[in-house]
Chain A
């Protein structure tokens, strides 16, 4: 019945049917169909098709559609509220977690900085005693001895140093009739040396001990000191002259054993 048509003519005829043409275009179409039998036939076919589709009965929406739409809207509303509530809850919980994480992070940072600060301070900060110009030993003193048998005493002390294997810990200086034994060693080692010195203690005419004290530069002088007293003095911390209070902390055995002490023994005398 129908044949392939010129698309432009087809569009023109359809627009004519639908009233979408200008007045001039309508005139052209009317002229076309009056002169072209095929175009006229095609126009009628298209009109029939359009009329047929347009005559389809109008369907009415189902009776309960309104109720269903309202119910559906209610469900959506409840669902949205539930989602909103859930999202809100999640946001609040999330905010709490975030705050907790921030606090923990800050605490961790502070802790880390404190630890690092401590480590750095330990590494770079000078020792309190060093800052004060005091040797970093638990005990520092000078023992001045006078004798008439300098050669004999000197020989004895040197032997005692060798016997106690303290040669590496002693610096010996001789100034005429004076011998200076600068000893830096452990307390026990010094005690052993002092125990040996006790054997010749009667050969000394005088014995005076100068003990370094706090604050730096101050000294405590003990005249006529005995070996036992020296041994006792080197086991206690330096006396503090700023407060006038004797140190009451009793050193532990481990502290006594480990700490280094310094004693310069100055022997002056004649042959």
Chain B
């Protein structure tokens, strides 16, 4: 049901400025459309950063509540999309920091066994230049579990920049806005993050 609504909401393609103005006036239909328009993308990014379905759902909920509460303060200096993701990422990174302090990090791949097949496939993909498109490997869920755990071994800041770039597809300038950092910092951070991720995966595949 909801999945259908999402598709419809995205297809309506109502201009954000109009939606935001109607949300400011307290129009519940506009609020609903705004949520439906962005909930999957925001949920996906949050999930990839925190790696826990329940936490991601709760953080997405908190994000939208905050967005609606603060929407009257949105000045339009950045796009709504950037502003909304800034709220989502900040909430998630704060949560991750608290979780680390509380020892609640959800993934610990150190002692987990993955099938040889998943490891072999991933290793081949990373090393064999003739390996086909990764979409062909998508059916192997275990391979993505390894990747997910490798991502969780990155620093929160590195993980966030990789996810915003490679999963959400943001350009460097928008990432800088969302994370409120300099463009040069985005470049260096992304470079180190990808390098570290590769090292982590190589270590996991040994």
Judge whether B103 is part of the interface by a CB distance below 8 angstroms. no
What is the distance, in angstroms, from B142's C-beta to the closest C-beta of chain A?
Answer: 13
Inter-chain CA distance A56–B202, complex, in Å, is 18
Are B166 and A53 neighbours in the complex by a CB distance under 8 Å?
A: yes
List A contacts of B100 (CB < 8 A): none
Binding-face segment, B40-48, B72-80, B90-98, B112-120: B40-48
Knowing that A59-B44, A69-B35, A69-B65 are A-B contacts, what are 12 other residue pairs whose CB atoms are under 8 Å apart, sorted by A's residue number?
A2-B195, A5-B195, A49-B198, A49-B201, A51-B134, A54-B134, A54-B166, A59-B40, A61-B42, A62-B43, A66-B39, A69-B61
Judge whether B167 is part of the interface by a CB distance below 8 angstroms. yes
Judge whether B1 is part of the interface by a CB distance below 8 angstroms. yes
Are B129 and A44 neighbours in the complex by a CB distance under 8 Å?
A: yes
Q: List 18 A-B contacts (CB under 8 A).
A: A1-B127, A2-B202, A7-B191, A10-B191, A18-B165, A48-B125, A48-B126, A53-B147, A53-B166, A56-B144, A59-B44, A60-B40, A62-B57, A65-B2, A65-B43, A65-B57, A66-B32, A68-B57
Cβ-closest chain B residue relative to A20: B172
Judge whether B68 is part of the interface by a CB distance below 8 angstroms. yes
Inter-chain CA distance A268–B150, complex, in Å, is 136
Judge whether A73 is part of the interface by a CB distance below 8 angstroms. yes
The A31-53 residues at the B interface (CB cut-off 8 A) are 44-46, 48-53
Judge whether B171 is part of the interface by a CB distance below 8 angstroms. yes
List B contacts of A14 (CB < 8 A): 187, 190-191, 194
Pick from A53, A58, A59, A60 the residue with the most CB of B within 10 Å. A53
List A contacts of B135 (CB < 8 A): 55
Judge whether B36 is part of the interface by a CB distance below 8 angstroms. yes
Inter-chain CA distance A65–B195, complex, in Å, is 35
Interface of B (DSSP majority class): helix
Binding site for A on B (CB under 8 A): 1-3, 5-6, 28, 31-32, 35-36, 39-40, 42-44, 47-48, 53, 56-57, 60-61, 64-65, 68-69, 125-127, 129, 131, 133-135, 137-138, 144, 147-148, 151, 162-163, 165-167, 169, 171-172, 187-188, 190-192, 194-195, 197-199, 201-202
B31 touches which one: A1, A7, A63, A73 (CB < 8 A)?
A73
List A contacts of B197 (CB < 8 A): 49, 53
**Interface residue range, chain A:** 35 or more
Inter-chain CA distance A70–B39, complex, in Å, is 13
List A contacts of B191 (CB < 8 A): 7, 10-11, 14
List B contacts of A169 (CB < 8 A): none
List A contacts of B61 (CB < 8 A): 65, 68-69, 72
Inter-chain CA distance A84–B1, complex, in Å, is 37
Inter-chain CA distance A15–B194, complex, in Å, is 12
Cβ-closest chain A residue relative to B65: A72
Inter-chain CA distance A57–B47, complex, in Å, is 11
Are B40 and A20 neighbours in the complex by a CB distance under 8 Å?
A: no
Inter-chain CA distance A55–B61, complex, in Å, is 26
Are A61 and B40 neighbours in the complex by a CB distance under 8 Å?
A: yes
List A contacts of B188 (CB < 8 A): 7, 11
What is the distance, in angstroms, from A80's C-beta to the closest C-beta of chain B?
Answer: 9
Known contacts: A10-B195, A70-B32, A73-B65. The answer to whether A56 contacts B167 by CB under 8 A is yes
Inter-chain CA distance A65–B148, complex, in Å, is 23
Known contacts: A2-B202, A60-B3, A61-B57. The answer to whether A53 contacts B162 by CB under 8 A is yes
Cβ-closest chain A residue relative to B134: A55
Are A45 and B126 neighbours in the complex by a CB distance under 8 Å?
A: yes
Cβ-closest chain A residue relative to B41: A58
Inter-chain CA distance A97–B135, complex, in Å, is 72
Inter-chain CA distance A192–B40, complex, in Å, is 118
How does the 8 Å CB contact mask read for A121-162 relative to B, with 1 for contact and 0 for none?
000000000000000000000000000000000000000000
